[in-house]
């Protein structure tokens, strides 16, 4: 049974006064979404929990059936997996960006002049050896990269080195746990809580030490690298410091195949979403022309979706541009992209058995950031109990048969409709 889950990033919105108090999704001309809603079951989803503002990573984890509170410690691992690094449980991963520091050690440019083509620098960083861990680094887009520490007994409970401000020196990385466990309820005394705390703290101290050693060695190697010598000669900011942030420990995610009996393919451009899917054990396909922006080639993506169904039952199609337009506060661009997404749906209606359309969170164009409002969802296919909802919008779907669910409920619901679930009990 071919099942397609379409996630339009940040598509959900709030009423916009300039749009006669309608949302971009309500005002957009979406005949296919409306048809699917009419021939499907609808509802709203709190992707994390009511009122909680999701990030794209935690929201996608939830929509794939995981409890983000259990598995999420930071964005780093998902970016690194999205960059194509083969991660192992226990690796600690960070987001990294090349920055420029001057001779006094102060940051003069957090993005090193938005440098690109940093692969030679990445090669140099990989050569650095530190005691107690292996370094893995991969350049991603522009000045960004993914940084991974691999070794025994590492911790993500350390601070960032990125001060997020020009003129300051990179911060010394420190353990986030104080030397002594601050408040001590009685039960940890019995359950070994103190011992656990000491272990955690020791790991964080060790990891911070490794990272500080690495940061210094990285500066020494980068500053004299021919690429940077050349940049300085040309009056360009040298990419001589690697700022680290968003550290997280790589979680062990039970693959969705094991949990729901479906293989999965992810069709997305955004590295973060690809990373979540890869760690969930899904196949991730790169689509030429998919940009993660409003100008993305949706037809190319649709083609890959249909091709994926030749040997897969479950495909996740992610479109990032709706969130980008929302962060820009650009209602017009958001409406146009929603209409373009709607247009490609017609290719799926005859080919796919079960189609789900939803968003990972609300990003109101009026707020230009994510909020904790629920998102609309529709599921359309032969096995669903069709409700009375006639069109797809944030408010119209509240009348639907799914009611109000959590993100992590969605995949079990789809697995049931696909006939993949097993009886609980006799
Ligand atoms: Zn998102
Ligand atoms: Zn966003």
Whole-number mean pLDDT of the chain? 94
Q: Which ligand is nearest to the CA of 359?
A: 1
Q: How far is the CA of 227 from the centre of ligand 1 (A)?
A: 35
Structure tokens given for 167: 């003129």
Listed residues: CB within 5 A of ion ligand 1: 9, 56, 323, 360
Q: How far apart are CA 303 and CA 25, in angstroms?
A: 24
Q: How far apart are CA 96 and CA 242, in angstroms?
A: 6
Q: How far apart are CA 184 and CA 329, in angstroms?
A: 46
pTM, two decimals, is 0.90
Closest by CA to 210, choosing from 149, 152, 251, is 149
Q: How far is the CA of 230 from the centre of ligand 2 (A)?
A: 36
Q: How far apart are CA 321 and CA 55, in angstroms?
A: 15
What average pLDDT does this structure show over 214-220?
97
Query: Does 191 have pLDDT greater than 80?
Result: no
pLDDT of residue 338: 98
Cβ atoms < 10 Å from Cβ of 276: 33
Q: How far is the CA of 361 from the centre of ligand 1 (A)?
A: 6
pLDDT of residue 423: 85
Domains of the chain: 3-72+252-417 (3.40.720.10), 80-248 (no CATH)
* CA 251 from centroid of its chain's CA atoms: 14
Q: How far is the CA of 323 from the centre of ligand 1 (A)?
A: 6
Structure confidence by residue, pLDDT tens digits, 388-419: 999 999 999 999 999 999 999 999 999 999 99
Q: How far is the CA of 68 from the centre of ligand 1 (A)?
A: 14
Closest by CA to 94, choosing from 234, 249, 202, is 249
Q: Which ligand is nearest to the CA of 358?
A: 1
Q: How far is the CA of 110 from the centre of ligand 2 (A)?
A: 21
pLDDT of residue 183: 62
Q: How far apart are CA 421 and CA 100, in angstroms?
A: 53
Q: How far apart are CA 137 and CA 124, in angstroms?
A: 9
Q: How far apart are CA 320 and CA 334, in angstroms?
A: 11
- The DSSP code sequence of 88-148 is -TT-EEEEEEEEEE-TTS-EEETTGGG----HHHHHHHHT--BTTBEEEEEE-STTEEEEE
Q: How far is the CA of 218 from the centre of ligand 2 (A)?
A: 31
Q: How far is residue 136 from each of residues 95, 123, 302, 307, measured CA to CA in Å?
A: 12, 10, 34, 33
Q: How far apart are CA 160 and CA 237, in angstroms?
A: 22
Place of tokens 């030679």: 120
Query: Does 153 have pLDDT greater than 70?
Result: yes
Q: How far is residue 34 from each of residues 271, 326, 401, measured CA to CA in Å?
A: 30, 22, 16
- Contacts for 233 with CB less than 8 Å, ≥ 6 apart: none
pLDDT of residue 296: 85
Q: Which ligand is nearest to the CA of 10?
A: 1
What average pLDDT does this structure show over 119-129?
96
379 backbone dihedrals φ, ψ, rounded to 5°: -125, 125
What average pLDDT does this structure show over 2-19?
97
What average pLDDT does this structure show over 57-65?
97
Contact indicator for 75, 60 with CB cutoff of 8 Å: no
Query: Does 261 have pLDDT greater than 80?
Result: yes
| Confidence band, pLDDT 50/70/90 cuts, at residue 37 | very high
Strand-pair category, 92-101 with 144-150: antiparallel
What average pLDDT does this structure show over 215-224?
97
Q: Which ligand is nearest to the CA of 48?
A: 1
Diameter of the chain measured on Cα atoms: 75
Cβ atoms < 10 Å from Cβ of 99: 26
The angle, 0 to 180 degrees and rounded to 10, between the axes of the packed helices 331-349 and 31-38 is: 60
Query: Among 20-29, 47-56, 264-273, 288-297, whose mean pLDDT is lowest?
Result: 288-297
Q: How far is the CA of 207 from the centre of ligand 2 (A)?
A: 30
Query: Does 192 have pLDDT greater than 80?
Result: no
Q: How far is the CA of 323 from the centre of ligand 2 (A)?
A: 5
| Confidence band, pLDDT 50/70/90 cuts, at residue 187 | low
Contact indicator for 380, 402 with CB cutoff of 8 Å: no
Structure tokens given for 296: 């993305």
Which of left, alpha, beta for 246 (phi over 0: left; psi -120 to 50: alpha)? left
Q: How far is the CA of 406 from the centre of ligand 1 (A)?
A: 16
Q: How far is the CA of 375 from the centre of ligand 1 (A)?
A: 11
Q: How far is the CA of 19 from the centre of ligand 1 (A)?
A: 23
């Amino acid at each position: 049974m071919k099942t397609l889950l379409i996630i339009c990033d940040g598509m959900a919105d709030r009423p916009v006064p300039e749009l006669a108090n309608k949302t971009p999704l309500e005002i957009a001309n979406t005949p296919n979404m409306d048809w699917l809603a009419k021939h499907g079951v609808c509802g709203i989803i709190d992707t994390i929990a009511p009122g909680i503002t999701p990030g794209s990573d935690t929201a996608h984890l939830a929509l794939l059936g995981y409890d983000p509170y259990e598995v999420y410690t930071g964005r780093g691992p998902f970016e690194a997996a999205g960059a194509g690094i083969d991660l192992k449980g226990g690796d600690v991963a960070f987001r990294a960006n090349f920055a420029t520091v001057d001779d006094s050690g102060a940051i003069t440019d957090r993005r090193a002049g938005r440098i690109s083509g940093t692969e030679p620098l990445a090669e140099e960083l990989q050569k650095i050896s530190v005691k107690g861990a292996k370094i893995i680094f991969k350049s991603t887009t522009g000045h960004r990269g993914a940084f991974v520490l691999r070794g025994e007994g590492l911790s993500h409970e350390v601070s960032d080195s990125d001060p997020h401000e020009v003129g300051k020196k990179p911060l010394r990385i420190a353990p986030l746990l104080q030397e002594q466990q601050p408040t001590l309820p009685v039960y940890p005394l019995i359950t070994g809580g103190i011992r656990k705390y000491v272990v955690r703290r020791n790991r964080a101290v060790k990891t911070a030490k490794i990272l500080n050693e690495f940061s210094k060695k990285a500066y020494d190697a980068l500053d004299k690298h021919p690429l940077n010598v050349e940049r300085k000669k040309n009056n360009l900011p040298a990419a001589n410091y690697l700022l680290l942030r968003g550290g997280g420990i790589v979680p062990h995610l039970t693959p969705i195949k094991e949990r729901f009996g479906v293989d999965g393919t992810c069709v997305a451009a955004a590295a973060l979403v690809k990373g979540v899917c890869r760690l969930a054990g899904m196949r991730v396909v790169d689509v030429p022309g998919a940009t993660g922006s409003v100008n993305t080639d949706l037809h190319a993506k649709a083609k890959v979706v249909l091709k994926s169904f030749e040997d897969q039952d479950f495909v996740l199609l992610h479109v990032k541009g709706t969130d980008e337009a929302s962060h820009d506060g650009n209602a017009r661009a958001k409406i146009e992209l929603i209409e373009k997404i709607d247009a490609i749906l017609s290719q799926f209606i005859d080919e796919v058995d079960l189609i789900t359309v939803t968003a990972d969170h609300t990003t109101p164009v009026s707020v230009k950031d994510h909020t904790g409002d629920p998102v609309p969802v529709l599921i359309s296919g032969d096995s669903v109990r069709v409700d009375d909802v006639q069109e797809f919008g944030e408010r119209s779907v509240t009348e639907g048969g799914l009611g109000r669910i959590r993100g992590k409920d969605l995949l079990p619901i789809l697995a049931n409709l696909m006939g993949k679930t097993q009886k609980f009990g006799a």
